[in-house]
Amino acid sequence: MKIKELALLIEGTIEGDDNVDITDLSGIESARHGDLTFAMDEDKLTLAETSQTACILTTKTSRKSIKTLIRVHNPKLAFLIAYNAFQGKTLERSFIHPTAVIADSVVLGKNVRINAHVCIEDDVVIGDHTTIESGCVVKKVCKIGEHCHLYPNVVLYENTILKNQVILHGGVIIGSDGFGYVRDQGSIWKFPQLGTVVIEDRVEIGANSTIDRGSLGCTIIGAGTKIDNLCHIAHNVKIGKNVIMAAQCGIAGSTVIGDNVTMSGHVAVIDNVTVGQNVSIGGQSGVIGNIEANTSIWGSPARGVGKIKRQLAVLAWLTKNFSVLSKIVKEKNTTSS
């Protein structure tokens, strides 16, 4: 790609030699001759100058360089846009591996790619430009949209619905039975799990995460939401749009997570509560009640971030002053008795 073409695409201004061709993109450490890289600050810029990079994306305000620069508002975002432009040029053709087992009733869109040892059961519909990698299993009546990507060994239980541009990483299980039982006279009976899962547009789900089907209704993951590895979403949970959920979080049954919520890793949310929009939840928090929108919480059980920080500081102070405190309490006990 010509550097002028690139600068236009990312709305940047070229500084230095504009007769450069970009052949690939890479991080500073691994940049080869002809590569484009990016530098968010001047230390990184210095590092990039010592590399073989052809051109550096950097901020509007950073110093001049011996290398060709493209100055943009957000170098990381510009790098991403450039990357997508490069990727877009290698759109892959339709391909179905001969070992894939695909039921006769399956409907395939254009340019669908299905790799080795995949199994697709009856009445599944798969949209255009979708890729299903080796070892995936798609059970009956699933509907998969356009431009989806299922990495190896993903499992979709029956009736699962993926809308468009959904990415599921290796080992993800969607639509497994929810954890629903009825206790009666000392025995535990499995309650039927008849619902489905709907994964909306542009959702990405990390490796080995699991999303249970609704019990009688639907489990929903809202558009644009990103879920990291090894997360668990229980039956009938509704997750809003553009939620960011870091690794190993778990959301219990029927809970509602509002739009734009951000969770650090290892967070647990109990069943049947509502977490409002834009809530930010610190790592390892345990959410045991409804949470008001636009708040920041932390701890197990979760409290306001300011509150729990004060409580931790007070506990540390009390421990430091324990000998005095115990003397005061002892004297009070003596004078009271």
User: Which residues in 277-306 contact a second copy (CB under 8 A)?
Assistant: 283-284, 286, 288, 300-301
Stretch that binds a second copy, among 12-20, 40-48, 106-114, 149-157 (CB under 8 A): 149-157
Rounded to a whole number of angstroms, the minimum distance from the CB of residue 19 to a second copy is 26
Residues 42-71 touching a second copy, rule: CB under 8 A, are none
Using the minimum distance from each CB to a second copy, give the nearer residue, 107 or 328: 328
Dihedral angle over CA of 265, 174, 204, 197, nearest 10: -110
Stretch that binds a second copy, among 46-54, 56-64, 104-112, 221-229 (CB under 8 A): 221-229
With H, G, I as helix, E, B as strand and everything else as coil, classify residue 189: strand
Using rule CB under 8 A, residue 204 touches a second copy: yes
Task: Give catalytic status of residue 235 as yes or no.
Answer: yes
Q: Are 38 and 56 in contact (CB under 8 A)?
A: yes
Which one of residues 8, 11, 95, 328 is an interface residue with a second copy (CB under 8 A)?
Answer: 328
For tokens 């039921």, name the residue. 103
Which one of residues 60, 77, 289, 290 is an interface residue with a second copy (CB under 8 A)?
Answer: 77
Using the minimum distance from each CB to a second copy, give the nearer residue, 71 or 139: 139
Q: Which residues contact 203 (CB under 8 A, 6 or more apart)?
A: 163, 166, 167, 221, 222, 223, 224, 225, 226, 227
d(Cα 274, Cα 293) in Å, to the nearest integer?
A: 10
Q: Judging by beta carbons within 10 Å of its beta carbon (0-12, 13-18, 19+), is residue 88 exposed, middle or buried?
A: exposed
Rounded to a whole number of angstroms, the minimum distance from the CB of residue 101 to a second copy is 4
Rounded to a whole number of angstroms, the minimum distance from the CB of residue 288 to a second copy is 7
3-state secondary structure 29-92: HHCCCCEEEECCCHHHHHHHHCCCCCEEEEECCCCCCCCEEEEECCHHHHHHHHHHHHHHCCCC
Residue 122: other Cβ atoms inside 10 A: 12
Which one of residues 208, 274, 278, 295 is an interface residue with a second copy (CB under 8 A)?
Answer: 208
Using the minimum distance from each CB to a second copy, give the nearer residue, 128 or 204: 204
Residues 150-179 touching a second copy, rule: CB under 8 A, are 151-153, 155, 157, 167, 169-171, 173, 176-177, 179
Using rule CB under 8 A, residue 140 touches a second copy: no
Beta bridge partners of 58: 71
Q: Judging by beta carbons within 10 Å of its beta carbon (0-12, 13-18, 19+), is residue 80 exposed, middle or buried?
A: middle
d(Cα 335, Cα 135) in Å, to the nearest integer?
A: 76
The residue from 147, 169, 235, 266 that is catalytic is 235
Using the minimum distance from each CB to a second copy, give the nearer residue, 110 or 310: 310
d(Cα 31, Cα 47) in Å, to the nearest integer?
A: 11
Rounded to a whole number of angstroms, the minimum distance from the CB of residue 227 to a second copy is 9
Residue 234's nearest CA partner among 298, 173, 311 is 173
Using rule CB under 8 A, residue 334 touches a second copy: no
Using the minimum distance from each CB to a second copy, give the nearer residue, 17 or 300: 300
Using rule CB under 8 A, residue 134 touches a second copy: yes
Binding track, positions 98-127, relative to a second copy; x by CB under 8 A: -x-x-------------xxx-x--------
Residues 244-263 touching a second copy, rule: CB under 8 A, are 244, 246-248, 250, 252
d(Cα 324, Cα 297) in Å, to the nearest integer?
A: 33
For a second copy (CB under 8 A), the number of binding residues is 104
Residues involved in catalysis: 235
